[in-house]
Structure 1
Amino acid sequence: MAERVNNFPPLPQFMRIKPCFYHNIEEEIPAPHMQLVRKVYILWMMYSGTLCMNVISCIAWWAGGGGATNFGYSLLWVILFSPCSYTCWFRPLYKAFRADSSFNFMSFFFIFFLQCVFAIIQTIGIPGWGTCGWMATVMFFSYNVGSAIVMLITTLLLTVVTVLMGLVLLRVHRLYRGGGGSFEHAKEEWSSGMWKNAPVREVGFNAVSTAQGPTLPQYPAAVPSYPDDTSHW
C-alpha cells in the first residue's frame, strides 16, 4: 500500500522541519463538495494575507503617531492565527467532507463560530488591540491622513473576509442539516471512537488508490449523505 507523504505546508527540501498534513482537495474531497472546500481554503489564504497586510498597516499607524502596542499585537495575530486557523477550522472541515464525520463538522462549527466573532472584533478595530478596523481607522483620519488610508485598506479587507466567513458558516450548516446531520451523530462518533479512527475508515480508499490511482473514498452508509453543493455564494 502506497503511503501518502505529507505535503502541506510546502517547505524547502533543505529545512529539517517537514510538512505536517496531506492536502489534496482534488483527490480526497468528493466532487460535489470540492468547490466549496476549495473556496474555504481560499478564504483561509485571504484571512492570512489580511493579517499580513494588517502588520503593514500597523507600521503605518505607528509611523503616523500611533502606539507600538498595535504593531506588537499585529505580529502576534499573524503568527498565531495563520497556522491555527488552518489547523483548527479548515482541517476539521476538510476531514468532515473527506470522511463524512459529524464530529469534525461539529468541531468546525464551534471553532469557526469563535473565529467569526473574533473577526468581527477585528473589523470593529478597537484601538490597542492590534487591528486596523473601522473605529481605529476613522479616528486616525484626524491625526494622519496618509497612515489612515493605509489602515483603510486593511479595514476593507477585514470587512470582506468577515462577511465571507459568515456566508461560509451559514452555507456549511445548511448543507450539513440538509443531509440529516445532527449533534446526535457527533455524540455517536465520540462515544464509539470513530472520530479518531480515520486511518481505519480510509483503508478501502487507500487500497483502491494504490491499485487504480487517485479516486474518491467510499463513505460508510450510516453517515448522512449531504446534498450536492450546486448553489453559488
Structure 2
Amino acid sequence: MSGLDSNPFADPVDVNPFQDASVTQAISGVNESTGEYNPFTANEMGKYTETTIPVSKTSSSQPAVLPTSVEQSPQATAAAAQANLVKQQEELERKAAELERKEQELQNRSNRDPGAKENNWPPLPRFFPIKPCFYQNFEEDIPEEYRRICKRMYYLWMFHSATLFLNILACLAYFTADAAKGVDFGLSILWFILFTPVSFVCWYRPVYKAFRSDSSFSFFFFFFVFFFQVAVYIIQSVGIPSWGNSGWISSISMIRTNLAVAVVMMVVAGFFTVNAVLGVILLKMVHSKYRNTGASFSKAQQEFSQGVLTNRTFQSAAASAATSAAQGAFSGNQGN
C-alpha cells in the first residue's frame, strides 16, 4: 500500500544511471588499474631502451656540412673587374679596326675606276708569261636585270669561237678529200686566229661595257659591229667555196665524193646556222634592253666627245699638232 500512498503530484526523483552499484564498481576498478599514464616517464622510457635503433646505423658517418660562401677581398674584385674591362676594350678595338678596314675596301672599290681593277680574263695560270688582258665580273659589274642577257652574249661568243675551231677540222677533212681545197683550210685557220679575239673586242666587250655603265656610245658601237657579225654568220653558214667556210654549199658538194667528210662539214654548217639564229635573237633582246635604259644618239655623241677630249693620247697628239703649227707659223713670220 505504500506505492498507492505516494503522492502522484510530487516532483519526480532524478535517476542517474551511473549511480547504479554495478556501474560504479566497474569505473572505480578501471581508474585504479590505469591511473594517470605518462609515456615519457623514466620507467616507461627504460622499457624501450633495448629496442631503439642507433642513429649511427641509419645515417652516414660524415655529418652534413653546408657550404659556406667565400667572400672575395675588395682588391681581388677590383682586379677581376679591371681585367674584364681590358678584355672588352680589346674586343671593341678589334671590331672597330675590322669595320674600318671593310669600309675602306668598299670606299676604294666604289671610287676606283673599273679599268684600274686587276685583270682576270682570260683566266691564265700565274706562271704563264702572258697576263690577263681584261677585267670581267658579272656579279659585281652588271646590274641584275641585265646580267642574264650579258651572260648569254658571252656564251654566244664562246660558241662562236668553238664553231671557228671546228671549221678548221672540217676544212682539213675537206682538204684531205680534195687536194684543190687547200685555200679553204688556210683561210679557216686565218678566220679562227683573227675573228676569235676581234669578235671579243669589237662586239662582246662593247655590250659588256654598255650594260655595266649604261653607255649609249657602247650600245651604238655594239649594234653597228654585231649587225655585220650576223651577216658574216649567214655567209659562213651558206659556205661559198674557196672562202674558208664549211657551209651548206661546200658540204652538199662533197656528198658524192666522200660521205663522211660531207657529214662532218654539215655539222659545222649547222653550227654556223645556229650562230646566225642566236645572233638575230640576241640582237633583238639587246635592242629591247637598250630602249629601256633611256640611251639615245645624242647621249652617244656626248659620251664620244667627252671620251675623246679626256683621252691622254688625243690630248698629247693635239698638243703636238698645235705646237708644230705654232712653230711653223712663227718660222714663216721670221722668214718674211
State the TM-score, normalized to the length of structure 2. 0.56
- Of residues 184-193 and 79-88 in structure 1, the stretch that sits farther from structure 2 once superposed is 184-193
Question: 2:224 matched to 1:110?
Answer: yes
Question: 2:177 matched to 1:64?
Answer: yes
Separation of aligned partners in 2, 1:194 and 1:104: 14
Question: 2:263 matched to 1:162?
Answer: no
Give deviations 1:163-221, integer Å, cap 9, x for gaps: 00011111111221243322222112122338978xxxxxxxxxxxxxxxxxxxxxxxx
Separation of aligned partners in 2, 1:190 and 1:25: 25
Residue 229 (structure 1) aligns with: none
Read off the aligned partner of 1:164 and give its amino acid letter: L
- Asked if structure 1 preserves the Cα contact closer than 8 Å seen for 2:237 and 2:248, the reply is yes
Separation of aligned partners in 1, 2:284 and 2:298: 20
Question: 2:209 matched to 1:95?
Answer: yes
Residue 143 (structure 2) aligns with: 30
- Asked if structure 2 preserves the Cα contact closer than 8 Å seen for 1:54 and 1:131, the reply is yes
Separation of aligned partners in 2, 1:118 and 1:156: 14
Residue 231 (structure 1) aligns with: none
- Asked if structure 2 preserves the Cα contact closer than 8 Å seen for 1:124 and 1:134, the reply is yes
- Of residues 179-188 and 39-48 in structure 1, the stretch that sits farther from structure 2 once superposed is 179-188
SS in 1 for 2:282: helix
- Asked if structure 1 preserves the Cα contact closer than 8 Å seen for 2:166 and 2:268, the reply is yes
Separation of aligned partners in 1, 2:187 and 2:310: 35
Read off the aligned partner of 1:71 and give its amino acid letter: F
Aligned length: 197
Separation of aligned partners in 2, 1:56 and 1:180: 45
- Asked if structure 1 preserves the Cα contact closer than 8 Å seen for 2:202 and 2:222, the reply is yes
The within-5 A match list for 1:10-21 is 10-21=123-134
Q: Which blocks of at least 5 consecutive residues in structure 1 are unaligned?
A: 198-233
* Distance change >3 Å, CA 195–CA 102, structure 1 → 2: farther
Separation of aligned partners in 1, 2:199 and 2:295: 24
* Distance change >3 Å, CA 30–CA 178, structure 1 → 2: closer
Separation of aligned partners in 2, 1:142 and 1:109: 41
- Asked if structure 1 preserves the Cα contact closer than 8 Å seen for 2:121 and 2:136, the reply is yes
Aligned-residue identity in percent: 45
The within-5 A match list for 1:121-160 is 121-160=235-274
- Of residues 95-104 and 170-179 in structure 1, the stretch that sits farther from structure 2 once superposed is 170-179
The CA RMSD over aligned residues, in Å, is: 1.7
Residue 203 (structure 1) aligns with: none
Read off the aligned partner of 1:21 and give its amino acid letter: F
Query: Displacement, 1:16?
Result: 1.9
